[in-house]
Amino acid sequence: MKIFKASKSEEEKLIEGCIAGKRDMQRLLYDLYAKKMMVVCLRYASTSFEAEDIVQEGFVKVFSNIQNFKRDCPLEFWIRKIIVNTALKHLRQKSLLTVSHETEEVENLSSGNYNLNDYSMDELLGMIQSLAPRYRMVFNLYAIEGYNHKEIAEMLGITEGTSKSQYSRARAILQNMLVNQDKQYQENVISKQ
């Protein structure tokens, strides 16, 4: 599929078309941003199916509310914000169902140099997805979306301290995973030799 990069005026046409409810314009907008948003959703969701559900719900919200887009920020940023909020809402509903892993003890490792380029995207996503929902949310919001702990606390309805502690736990779990992965890789290499 040809990748459609919208210029400013094209983006404006796209928005106007979506406001008018033109299905072809909605499809174009979807094609333009769906892939990026899918990765965002994969980071928050536990499964790719769940991520697709969030994408679906998020884009429906985008199309239903696009007339409210103030144009004071890039369209991609606005869509991303909606998708993130949808994902959070999704996880908030579901978090009551899942067994919390928050009590498990995690060994704190010293920060080291991580070359994540050695890991595939699926591996990285898998590591984030394997975190408990609360940790996953806080980690995504802080490390990747760039929110601070105060903002995260407001978004999730927790205290700033809780956000910080959950983030440090999530970070420690990920570090452990990376160390284990490295060990396993080295063992595999040694056994092959």
Question: According to the binding rule CB under 8 A, does residue 134 interact with another protein?
Answer: no
Which of 4, 74, 100, 116 is the binder for another protein (CB under 8 A)? 116
Which of 12, 21, 161, 188 is the binder for another protein (CB under 8 A)? 21
Rounded to an integer, what distance in angstroms lies between the CA atom of residue 45 and that of residue 57? Answer: 13
Helices 48-65 & 75-95 angle (0-180, nearest 10):
130
Q: How far is the CB of 61 from another protein (least distance, A)?
A: 9
The residue (of 9 and 50) whose beta carbon lies closer to another protein is: 50
- SS3 state at 145: helix
Longest CA pairwise span in the chain (Å): 64
Taking CB under 8 A as the binding criterion, the range among 8-16, 23-31, 158-166, 185-193 that sits at the site for another protein is 23-31
Rounded to an integer, what distance in angstroms lies between the CA atom of residue 70 and that of residue 97? Answer: 37
Residue 173, CA distances (Å) to 3, 12, 64, 67, 178 in order: 37, 43, 38, 42, 9
Binding site for another protein (CB under 8 A): 21, 23, 26-27, 30, 34-36, 38-39, 42-43, 46-53, 55-57, 59-60, 63-64, 90, 93-94, 96-99, 111-117, 119, 121-127, 129-130, 133, 142-148, 151, 171, 174-175, 177-178, 180-181, 184
